[in-house]
Structure 1
Amino acid sequence: QPGKPQGFGSIGPDHTPLLALPGNPVSSYVSFELFVRPAIRALMGLPDLHRPTVRAVLSADKALTSPAGRRQFLRGTYDEEAGTVTPVGGSGSHLIAALAQADAL
């Protein structure tokens, strides 16, 4: 999960790419990072399409779950020294202030 609706198409005689993002600011940010940023980098011919990925241990007061068959992305802070990630701001996609605290998805 990020949110919906989102889409991709082209417009005009020169087939200019058109990317549509959700209206919710946090969902829009997550969708941009997962889909739009890699697409732009691919169109630019850059080799590294995605941001770096690291493995970390979850540091949370309770277990986190997602609905069956659905991947959800949460905002978090990564502690490189400890190798942990801590969720910030709760799971609501409307919680835009958590983006300022987060340095990880």
Structure 2
Amino acid sequence: MSYQFTWKEKLASYKNEFSKGVWGYWELGAWKPLALSARKRAAIRKEVLLAGEVWPYDPPKKEMRNKRKGHKCDRVSAEKRAHTAELMKKMPDILLDYK
């Protein structure tokens, strides 16, 4: 049976690689992937999190979109109805100006 490295030793040996990014990094205008595979990186991350430690190498989470996109025709027709309602309020003045 072979010796299993503990997560602390793995983390110490790949610390420089983890700090470069999640998937890779740009160096002199060329994209360089990490020296260790995503599967090995995920395995080490899982060991660290199971041990109750903090994994600081994840990218920051983006804010979730809360605005729903919807269909353009729905937005346009709602705007048209609002515009028509405003014009109907002005209708008596327009008719008086016409006479």
TM-score of the superposition, structure 2-length normalised?
A: 0.19
Higher RCO (C-alpha 8 Å, min separation 6): 1
TM-score of the superposition, structure 1-length normalised?
A: 0.19
Q: Which is higher, the Rg of structure 1 or of structure 2?
A: 2
